[in-house]
């Protein structure tokens, strides 16, 4: 009996060795947990499946699984594989020798009962501590950059805060369906091409306008009716408009991105990205189609600038300013050592406006100019998955545009914002019940392009609610010199300064104007009057000052 028992034990042990080695090819399944500052982050964990010289990475986080990673110990290289949005498969190969080489350290430690040697490596100014064992026949690392080929790395600690640590080592044969090693890696590309694809796969981009011309005096053959995904031109071609269907989602971070180039216009111009609310009897769309007199008048002549019971002004998403002639004048103005930008790119976070960016909407861009070539613009909306700690915007949250004095129909007889100073700007709003965290998103820029004009003079902006001042500041930008390489056709003065360098009333040629958030914690439900007061500069001959101010009220349900 002992003979048969001994034989059975021998077979079990031999079978175990065979299962573990896979007939000379060792295999393992390694599970890693992830911690940040000592706290478990379950979605950061991953599993490594190893069979022979091949290692595949399978993160527990579904988002991370958009990219696949592999390690080939025999070929001494790592592979990263991703499928692009058009279905193409791209791959990037990197040799072990091209990674930063770890420095071996004295001493040992124990992880999961395995005695581990220690090492340290510097990766992009980060210090990575490594615990690894070479007592097993398998080699792998939880992070490709952290010591591939060193051994089986069971723990890494980055800058003393981010930690991968093995929680289970299962030495066994790994099946092909677990390893998921691709038959073909895909088209091999360089690291720059691959990294761009990785980043773009993480978010969704909607292309609204692509290299559309915004100019004056050209004939555009716009189709009839209000068709979707068709560009319409208004105000002599200085306003482009499109009806689009946007995703009905709020658990995202949303950015607006505009790329702009001169197509002949040499000057700095006001630009605005906007949405036309259509939930009232009259909308700004009526003014564009039928003429500015279709819009309600403020003080008799300022059309479509304040909210009424039957009208909402345009909701401004982003205010930008074109530089002096970027792209078109690059070769016409050559200065040694100056590498002009190819285009001006403007980006802004517009997440808090999401409740007005759901389903079918009218999106537009305005650039004021009187040039037949004008400008070329593209508009993209980029939707990024929200962070875990990001406050979710609800579809029912309240976003109400209450005023916008930017004369988007400047080239169709809409008045400039000259009501300030003596008259100021007033609007009455009915605040609904059940709102919290009330605030105003306020954007302001001063204009009047001569020495005495408000463009170049600091002016106090005051916001009043029911006669009480709730906010005041002087909007002013001193960083315009940062945009010099986007301004090839700007004037240059005898003192060496360029016009584009000069400080201005909250804007720069080539820059975006950031909105101000004005908290309104004491605002109660009911009717309230808002007032914007700015000491408008006096006229000098044919020169005058104006202010483009837009404000919308925000509240959470």
Q: Which residues contact 121 (CB under 8 A, 6 or more apart)?
A: 100, 101, 102, 103, 128, 130, 146, 147
- Which whole-number Å values give the CA distances from 204 to 129, 359, 361, 478, 493, in the listed order? 36, 16, 18, 35, 45
CB atoms within 10 A of CB 332: 10
φ/ψ of residue 480, rounded to 5: -65, -25
User: What CATH class is the domain 203-556?
Assistant: mainly beta
Paired sense of beta strands 187-188 and 89-95, if any: parallel
Q: Show the 3-state SS of 61-106.
A: CCCHHHEEEEEECCCCEEEEEEECCCCCEEEEEEEHHHCCCCEEEE
Q: How many CA atoms lie within 13 A of 69 on its CB side?
A: 18
Radius of gyration of the CA atoms of the chain, in A: 31
Euclidean distance between CA atoms 133 and 73, whole angstroms: 15
CA dist 388 and 329 (Å) reads 45
Tell me how crowded residue 340 is: count the other CB atoms within 10 A of its CB: 20
What lies within 8 Å, CB to CB, of 414 at 6+ separation is 287, 292, 303, 304, 407, 408
Q: Which fold has domain 30-198?
A: outer membrane lipoprotein receptor (LolB), chain A (2.50.20)
Please state, in angstroms and rounded to a whole number, the distance separating the CA atoms of residues 229 and 245: 8
* Token pair in block for residue 256: 């607006």
Q: Which among 321, 344, 370, 373 is positioned nearest to 261, based on CA atoms?
A: 344
Q: What is the DSSP letter of 529?
A: E
CA distance 236 to 251: 38
pLDDT value of position 65: 63
**Confidence at residue 424, expressed as pLDDT on a 0 to 100 scale:** 85
Taking the domains of the chain in order of start, what are their residue ranges?
30-198, 203-556
C-alpha distance across the termini of the chain, in Å: 79
In order along the chain (557 residues), what is the average pLDDT of each group of 10 residues? 37 35 74 96 94 94 76 97 87 97 96 96 96 95 96 97 97 96 93 93 95 96 92 97 95 96 98 97 97 96 97 98 98 95 98 97 98 98 88 91 98 96 90 96 96 96 97 98 98 93 98 98 96 95 96 96
Question: Is there a shared CATH topology between the 30-198 domain and the 203-556 domain?
Answer: no
The whole-number pLDDT of residue 393 equals: 87
Under the phi-then-psi rule, with left for phi > 0, alpha for psi from -120 to 50, and beta for the rest, what region is 374?
left
Spatial separation of the C-alpha atoms in residues 31 and 328, rounded to whole Å: 57
Please report the DSSP string for 339-395 in residue order: ---S-EEEEEE-GGGGGGSSEEEEEEEEE----SS-EEEEEEEEEEEPPTTSPPPPT
């Amino acid at each position: 009996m002992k003979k048969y028992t001994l034989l059975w034990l021998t077979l079990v042990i031999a079978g175990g060795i065979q299962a573990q080695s896979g007939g000379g090819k060792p295999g393992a399944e390694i599970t890693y947990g992830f911690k940040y500052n000592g706290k478990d982050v379950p979605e950061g964990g991953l599993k490594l499946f190893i069979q022979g010289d091949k290692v595949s990475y399978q993160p527990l986080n579904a988002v991370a699984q958009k990219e696949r990673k592999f390690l080939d110990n025999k070929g001494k290289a790592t592979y990263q594989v991703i499928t692009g949005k058009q279905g193409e498969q791209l791959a990037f190969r990197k040799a072990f020798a091209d990674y930063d080489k770890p420095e071996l350290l004295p001493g040992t430690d124990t992880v999961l009962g395995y005695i581990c040697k220690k090492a340290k490596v510097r990766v992009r100014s980060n210090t990575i501590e490594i615990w690894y064992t070479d007592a097993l026949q398998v080699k792998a690392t939880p992070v490709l950059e952290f010591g591939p080929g060193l051994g089986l790395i069971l723990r890494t600690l980055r800058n003393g805060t981010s930690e991968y640590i093995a929680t289970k080592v299962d030495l066994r044969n790994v099946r092909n369906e677990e390893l998921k090693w691709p038959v073909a890696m895909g088209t091999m590309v360089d690291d720059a091409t691959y990294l761009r694809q990785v980043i773009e796969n993480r978010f969704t981009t909607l292309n609204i306008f692509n290299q559309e011309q915004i100019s004056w005096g050209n004939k555009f053959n716009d189709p009839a009716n209000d068709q979707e995904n068709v560009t319409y031109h208004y105000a002599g071609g200085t306003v482009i408009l499109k009806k689009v269907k946007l995703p009905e989602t709020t658990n995202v971070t949303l950015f607006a991105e505009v790329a702009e180039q001169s197509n002949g216009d040499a000057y700095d111009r006001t630009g605005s990205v906007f949405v036309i609310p259509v939930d009232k009897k009259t909308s700004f769309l009526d003014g564009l189609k039928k003429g500015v007199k279709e819009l309600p008048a403020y003080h008799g002549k300022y059309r479509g600038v304040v909210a009424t019971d039957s009208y909402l002004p345009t909701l401004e998403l982003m205010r930008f300013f074109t530089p002096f002639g970027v792209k078109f004048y690059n070769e016409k103005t050559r200065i040694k050592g100056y590498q002009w930008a190819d285009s001006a790119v403007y980006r802004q976070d517009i997440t808090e406006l999401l409740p007005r960016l759901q389903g079918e909407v009218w999106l537009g861009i305005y650039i004021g100019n009187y040039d037949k070539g004008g400008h070329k613009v593209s508009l993209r909306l980029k939707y990024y998955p929200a962070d875990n700690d990001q406050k979710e915007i609800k579809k029912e949250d309240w976003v109400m545009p209450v005023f916008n004095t930017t004369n988007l129909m400047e080239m169709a007889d809409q008045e400039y914002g000259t009501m300030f100073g003596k008259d100021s700007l007033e609007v009455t709003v009915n605040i609904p019940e059940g709102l919290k965290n009330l605030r105003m998103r306020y954007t302001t820029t001063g204009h009047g392009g001569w020495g005495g004009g408000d463009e170049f003079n600091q002016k106090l902006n005051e916001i009043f609610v029911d006669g009480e001042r709730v906010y005041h500041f002087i909007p002013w930008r001193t960083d315009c010199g940062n945009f010099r390489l986007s301004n090839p056709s700007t004037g240059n003065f005898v003192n060496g300064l360029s016009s584009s360098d000069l400080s201005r009333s909250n804007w720069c040629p080539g820059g975006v104007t950031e909105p101000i958030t004005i908290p309104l914690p004491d605002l109660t439900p009911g009717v309230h009057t808002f007032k914007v007061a700015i000491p408008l500069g006096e006229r000098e001959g044919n020169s005058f000052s104006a202010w483009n101010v837009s404000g919308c009220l925000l509240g959470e349900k």
